[in-house]
Amino acid sequence: MVAVRNIVLLLLCITVVAPIVLYTDRLGTFESPSNKQEFIEDVTAFAFSAADFSHLNLLPQETSTAVKEPVRVVYTEEDSTNKRNLPQGLQLVKSREHVFARMLSTTTEEDLAKKENPIKLVTDGIKQGNQGDASGENVNGEDAIDVDDNDGKLAKSISASTQEPEIKEQQLATETSSKINQKGSELSETNKQNDRTPSDARVKQIKDQLIQAKVYLSLPVVKSNPHLTRELRLRVKEVSRTLGEAIKDSDLPRNANERMRAMEQTLMKGKQAQDDCAAVVKKLRAMLHSSEEQLHVLKKQTLFLTQLTAKTLPKGLHCLPLRLTTEYHNMNSSHQQFPHQENLEDPHLYHYAIFSDNILATAVVVNSTVSNTKDASKHVFHIVTDRLNYAAMRMWFLVNPPGKATIQVQNIEDFTWLNASYSPVLKQLGSQSMIDYYFKAHRVTSDSNLKFRNPKYLSILNHLRFYLPEIFPKLNKVLFLDDDIVVQKDLTDLWSIDLKGNVNGAVETCGESFHRFDRYLNFSNPLIAKNFDPHACGWAYGMNVFDLAEWKRQNITEVYHNWQNLNHDRQLWKLGTLPPGLITFWKRTFPLNRSWHILGLGYNPNVNQRDIEQSAVVHYNGNMKPWLEISIPKFRRYWTNYVDYDHVYLRECNINP
């Protein structure tokens, strides 16, 4: 019995006393309470690091809006050893740098709801430890954190601490929050600045560098330094290749920044090599003056070449009338007549007047008008051309009749009533002064506005619009169309518009200041200043409704003749038909709705696309006609839609879109 009792006591000693001894021994090897500060700093550093990196999306999604406290924090032996070797001021930094070396075990939201905040428990343990020290008692930290053995030992060591105030934690939390807010605002401001950065900022910087480099290369101080001169020239060559044809920063190659930095370093050497600011300023002024002079010369050359191009016709458009004329004269005379000639003088039909020597352009006007009308049989086109193009014009419309519409082609030479004794403009066009004005080379520079030297002003076809009642004596209304327009909608409703006693119905063009009367007439002349308002709104030729009955009643042709006689020396206006038109129809023009007629497709690339689509007539006024290579590409399609480039005559003359 005694033996059994001894065995039981031995087992009790082994199972109860031995663990207590071993546990006490392990406590003796644990870190001293003085290291509690390290743990607090590490926990705080983790919280700070989580908040600091949350905006970079380096943490899980739930930590990007609110920092979650770690439920379990385990440190390795190596980390603890290294921390003891660091100065106090570097411990927080070290802990932040190794935040990802720690092993973190997180729980779900449901688990967090069941458990106490571990950081709060740690800090509560510190406070209890402080109170315990004051009363001579220690609080067991095993109940503070329900974790494994290592966590328990850490909690015990912290609870034994006596000198860490709670206010330091609050200060750290406040500083952390303010730093996060400050970084957020800085990031927001940086993003705003990036949004405001121009898309060509680097391109402009490169151009500035090139100018600066050229200035340095021209200075005597730099020229005397061969090494710096070679380096500058090399950089200029590199940067010029980098810039190339770039307009935006996105057009630059990848090595652009590297080349810019290299250029900047070389420019700094040039800046150090010279200290004479006055020389640099003088050189820059000289370069600026030279650039302005070159720009002025290039502008004059561009204007001259543009005007020259506008005066000429492509080779294909010269070939076309020759080919058509040959075919017309080879045709049997019985086939040279147009059908429906009984409609030519019917005042109940819709009559159009087109005066042109351009066959293809006239064809586009007729084709586009017929294509957009509801009943082509009620539309009559009166085409007047010169003697050279008469046969070709007739041949074109004989081969390409515009549906059921009626066509008439007339030769201006057949208007025997139109002579120099009747028309002042014909007399003036044949005068020696006019011939000198156009053909004397030494007089070219006397008039800066070269557009007035266009030979079209020498053609009586351009002035024929002032003789509509004489051409169509039995008609009451005529719609005048220029040959550089395209019709996009049915124009039938124009004949039903009440002009309210006016002779001319036109779209006004005073949306911009240069379309007012003072742009076209010489208001320094007392005759002009006395009779007209310089700010009066101009209007457009190109699509005009003319009431011929009212024209005759008000004797408009005679008004035109009187003013044309007064302008024999071109002192009232330069050549052209719009200035005398503004004068002749002064206070006799009815403004049409702007949707009927839009201008500018021959000179203004910024015409609104929506306005073009909604307009009944688009007008290519200006030098960039749609049949020329200098036309505005994006507007050309409205014209080419009505040209059949597969036509045998166009293919033979090599006329391409």
Range among 27-41, 157-171, 251-265 rated most confident: 251-265
Across the range 317-333, mean pLDDT stands at: 92
- What pLDDT score was predicted for residue 363? 96
How is residue 399 annotated by DSSP? H
Residues sharing a CB contact under 8 Å with residue 585, sequence separation 6 or more, in sequence order: 503, 504, 556
- What pLDDT score was predicted for residue 282? 78
Among 159, 69, 161, 157, CA closest to 116:
69
- What pLDDT score was predicted for residue 177? 54
How is residue 16 annotated by DSSP? I
Which tokens in the block code for residue 206? 């490169």
Among 142, 101, 643, CA closest to 371:
643
Query: HEC profile for 168-187?
Result: HHHHHHHHHHHHHHHHHHHH
Window from 96-110, 491-505, 598-612 with minimum mean pLDDT: 96-110
Across the range 29-42, mean pLDDT stands at: 49
322 or 169, which is more confident: 322
The answer to whether 456 and 465 have CB atoms below 8 angstroms apart is no
For residue 349, CA distances in Å to 342, 344, 367, 499, 606 come to 11, 9, 18, 18, 37
Position 456 pLDDT exceeds 80? no
Position 401 pLDDT exceeds 90? yes
- What pLDDT score was predicted for residue 563? 94
- What pLDDT score was predicted for residue 150? 40
Q: Distance between CA atoms of 429 and 434, rounded to whole angstroms? A: 6
3-class secondary structure, 103: strand
Position 323 pLDDT exceeds 90? yes
Window from 111-115, 334-338, 392-396, 638-642 with minimum mean pLDDT: 111-115
Across the range 480-505, mean pLDDT stands at: 95
- What pLDDT score was predicted for residue 279? 74
The answer to whether 280 and 217 have CB atoms below 8 angstroms apart is no
- What pLDDT score was predicted for residue 451? 55
pTM, to two decimals: 0.60
Q: What is the identity of the amino acid at 429?
A: L
Window from 220-234, 270-284, 407-421, 565-579 with minimum mean pLDDT: 270-284
- Mean of pLDDT over the chain: 76
Provide the CB-side half-sphere exposure for 591 (13 A, CA).
9
- What pLDDT score was predicted for residue 191? 54
Binned at pLDDT 50, 70 and 90, residue 183 comes out as low
The answer to whether 216 and 267 have CB atoms below 8 angstroms apart is yes
- What pLDDT score was predicted for residue 151? 41
The answer to whether 61 and 10 have CB atoms below 8 angstroms apart is no
Q: Distance between CA atoms of 52 and 195, rounded to whole angstroms? A: 25
Position 184 pLDDT exceeds 60? no
Position 161 pLDDT exceeds 50? no
- What pLDDT score was predicted for residue 113? 45
17 or 532, which is more confident: 532
Beta-carbon count within 10 A of 267 CB: 18
Which tokens in the block code for residue 241? 């290749």
> How much of the chain, in percent, has pLDDT values that exceed 70?
67
Indicate if the alpha-carbon torsion angle 421, 422, 426, 428 is positive or negative: positive
